[in-house]
Amino acid sequence: MAEQLVELNVTGMHCNNCAMSIHKLLEKKGLHDVLVSFASEEVKFSTDDQSILPQIIKDIEGLGFKVVDEENIQPTPFYEKVENKFIFCAMFTAPLLLHMVFPWHFLHNPIVQLILCLPVFAVGCLHFGKSAYSSLKNGTPNMDVLIFVGSASAFIYSLVGTIEHLGGNYLFYETCATIITLVLLGNVFEKRSVNQTTSAVKDLMKFQQVNANRVINGSVEVISAKEVVSGDTLLVNEGDLVPVDGEILSGDALINEAMITGESIPVAKTKYDKVIGGTILQQGNIRIMATKVGSNSTLSQIIDLMKKAQAAKPPVQKLGDKVASIFVPVVILIALATFAITYLATDAGLQRSMMHAIAVLVISCPCAMGLATPTAVMVGLGRAAKNGILIKGGDTIEAVANTKYVLFDKTGTLTTGKFSIHDIKPEEGFTMEQIRGVIVAIEERSNHPIARSMVAELQSLTQQKVILRTVKEEKGLGMRAEDVDGNNYFLGTAKHKSLDNFNLTLYRNQVRMAQIAVDDTIKPDASGLIAQLKKDGIIPVLVSGDKKTRCATVATALGIDEVHPEMLPDDKLKVVDMYRKKGKTIMIGDGINDAPALTQADVGVSMNDASQIAIQSAKVILLNTDLQSVVKFLQISRHTLLTIKQNLFWAFAYNIIAIPVAALGFLNPMVGALAMAFSDVIVIGNSLRLKVKRVNR
């Protein structure tokens, strides 16, 4: 039986350690293609045995998480919301802290302090204790173990002091309550920040939640876009979101495709043109036939690719994950060592030794290391998507760093793919008007891109066309025709070597009428792109299957020094390999012949209007055909990697400095809890800067 992809929505994950515990569980079960994202609360894996699914769900819930049905997601109960837990705990913690400021005798009463602390400790046990126990049971202790051990130690120590009437020096109820309350506050900020990091995907998903006007027997019914099936006729009015991918049956419209391409200028659409679900019809009214619906739609595929990309780990994350996985046991050992050394080697006494150990536990933060990479990747991918750049994997971002070469295909990449006539050279005895008349009469019968371009260019210049009786297209050669007077014409590929710059010839009755030079035009922003790459120290290279002279013309016009013309797909592979040995290499192309090279390069970049094979082979898709998207992609990738490194540096530096400081007794456990609570927020906040940060530096 073929393996099927299973997708589950799992709530309760609040950091990368949580995701790692589920990931390890599923790998132990022998499942494949496991992807776990704590931010989007999604778990994916492949299995050929669907019968094990109930047990898998039970095992995940056994870790302390909850598997929910996406279609029937119930709102989080009031008492389970982390914001409400924080408010509840803060109400009891505040009076406990007041006794340190005001000399109110009843607040110093051990029983009063116990009564105030007990509700907070109960919430802490349910919130942190359950997660801590589940993580220990699974063999991947998380940060909640440290929080629970630290707060429980303070509570038990204080409880013993109360029962034994040992006096105020043994009462640390405020420490226990404050640790729990401050960490919950950190969780509140963390939750809100993480929600912002995944906003790009959520924004795209909103475009799917629209209604559609389905036309049946002349009447219109309003249905959900999810109910549309392929082949339905839909009415889209001015101001509406296009509900699904389709083809225009009637009407004209201006459609804003910014959410797909990043291009804010509306695109004119008419009969037979394709429209994309989620785009906005700014002007006009159209009827469309639904062609791609559900998971096959462009928007669904983009969302799916973005989710997979956010879950794909760059190599730089492996260090953070590795340290985070052994971090908790190491910190517990340091805390025990701190207690033992302080108690046995100094005269600090039991309470100070214990406070030092608790400070070590609550100030350490493995979550910061776990959050450092995924939050930056999510924001970076989201910003790229809003600029019309779809990056298929978080690992691609790191692969772009230190790029040395960018290899370009010519046609459709650096050039528009729309052909124009550069020159027509009439032979003796034939006029330009005659030649134009024959070209237009013959080529308007062809659907070839060159033919359509030539007709569009010459139509207005032609006074009189030849009247043709028959026209026949010979694949790979050209067009043959016969006019009403019995003259035979041939318009096709130039074969003579002296005609290298003139790639088409026109014959009448086997006598050459003219030589024609046709070529596609260079994209207006191509020269700016090449100049920017050179400025950044990246060497541009032209790799094309086209003729040497035409490649040389384009390369000279753009300032590209390294040119490889007349390349077959196998040849392009060899060229990519050659450059990869010299340095990091990006390949940008759009045709079927580019697919192997796109796969072979360190990073393959495909244009949106490329062949499907090229899009599947590439790691990056430019949804906007504007070539400046290439520069934007490099800039966003560079700054995303820089943000990851900044986050990891902070996470490691914070723990390396904070733990020894706490162990030496320079930090109160409450201050430690506050520092730990906000270390995650600092990491996420730095990642969120990517949303607005200037990247063109």
Q: Which of 240, 409, 546, 602 is catalytic?
A: 409
The answer to whether residues 547 and 615 belong to one domain is yes
Q: Which of 28-32, 141-145, 522-526 has the highest mean pLDDT?
A: 522-526
Q: Measuring CA to CA, which residue among 39, 679, 608 is closest to residue 274?
A: 608
Q: What is the pLDDT of residues 220-277, one digit of tens each?
A: 888 888 888 888 899 998 888 888 889 999 888 888 776 665 455 677 888 888 888 8
Q: In this structure, is residue 193 part of a structural domain?
A: yes
409 is catalytic: yes
Backbone angles phi, psi at 197, to 5 degrees: -65, -25
- Count structural domains, the chain: 5
CATH classification at residue 19: 3.30.70.100
Structure tokens at 537: 């120290």
Q: Measuring CA to CA, which residue among 577, 562, 602 is closest to residue 401?
A: 602
Q: Tell me the pTM.
A: 0.62
Q: In this structure, is residue 243 part of a structural domain?
A: yes
CATH classification at residue 252: 2.70.150.10
The answer to whether residues 286 and 429 belong to one domain is no
Task: Decide if 385 contacts 521 (C-beta within 8 A).
Answer: no
The answer to whether residues 420 and 402 belong to one domain is no
The answer to whether residues 590 and 551 belong to one domain is yes
Of the candidates 506, 522, 538, which is a domain's last residue? 522
Q: What is the pLDDT of residues 432-482, one digit of tens each?
A: 888 888 898 888 887 666 777 788 888 878 777 788 889 887 765 778 999
Residue 579 pLDDT: 92
The answer to whether residues 555 and 430 belong to one domain is no
Q: In this structure, is residue 301 part of a structural domain?
A: no
Q: In this structure, is residue 218 part of a structural domain?
A: no
Query: Could you tell me the CA-to-CA distances from 617 to 489, 542, 594, 595, 636 in Å, in that order?
Result: 42, 19, 9, 6, 22
Q: In this structure, is residue 222 part of a structural domain?
A: no
Q: Measuring CA to CA, which residue among 224, 248, 129 is closest to residue 180?
A: 129
Lowest mean pLDDT among 10-19, 546-555, 570-579, 655-664: 10-19
Structure tokens at 240: 């509406």
**CA–CA distance, 179 with 185 (Å, rounded to integer):** 10
The answer to whether residues 663 and 583 belong to one domain is no
DSSP conformation letters of 118-130: HHHHHHHIIIIIH
The answer to whether residues 192 and 310 belong to one domain is yes
Of the candidates 501, 522, 543, which is a domain's last residue? 522
Backbone angles phi, psi at 338, to 5 degrees: -60, -45
Structure tokens at 507: 């014959």
Higher confidence at residue 212 or residue 448? 212
The answer to whether residues 330 and 476 belong to one domain is no
The answer to whether residues 536 and 628 belong to one domain is yes
The mean predicted confidence, pLDDT, of the chain is 78
Q: In this structure, is residue 213 part of a structural domain?
A: no
Of the candidates 21, 52, 75, which is a domain's last residue? 75
Q: In this structure, is residue 207 part of a structural domain?
A: no
User: Could you list the residue range(s) of the whole structural domain that residue 469 is in?
Assistant: 416-522
Task: Decide if 357 contacts 335 (C-beta within 8 A).
Answer: yes
Q: Please report, for the chain, how many H helices and E strands are present, in that order.
A: 23, 26
The answer to whether residues 437 and 512 belong to one domain is yes
The answer to whether residues 65 and 92 belong to one domain is no
Q: What is the pLDDT of residues 286-323, one digit of tens each?
A: 999 998 887 777 777 766 665 665 555 555 555 555 66
Taking the chain, what is the end-to-end CA distance rounded to the nearest angstrom? 52
Residue 546 pLDDT: 72
| Number of C-beta neighbours around residue 564 at 10 A | 20
Residues above pLDDT 90, as percent of the chain: 5
Lowest mean pLDDT among 2-6, 14-18, 433-437, 597-601: 14-18
pLDDT over 90 at 124, yes or no: no
Q: In this structure, is residue 206 part of a structural domain?
A: no
Which run of H or of E encompasses 117?
helix 110-124
pLDDT over 90 at 24, yes or no: no
Residue 562 pLDDT: 92
CATH classification at residue 441: 3.40.1110.10
The answer to whether residues 236 and 180 belong to one domain is no
Residues above pLDDT 70, as percent of the chain: 77
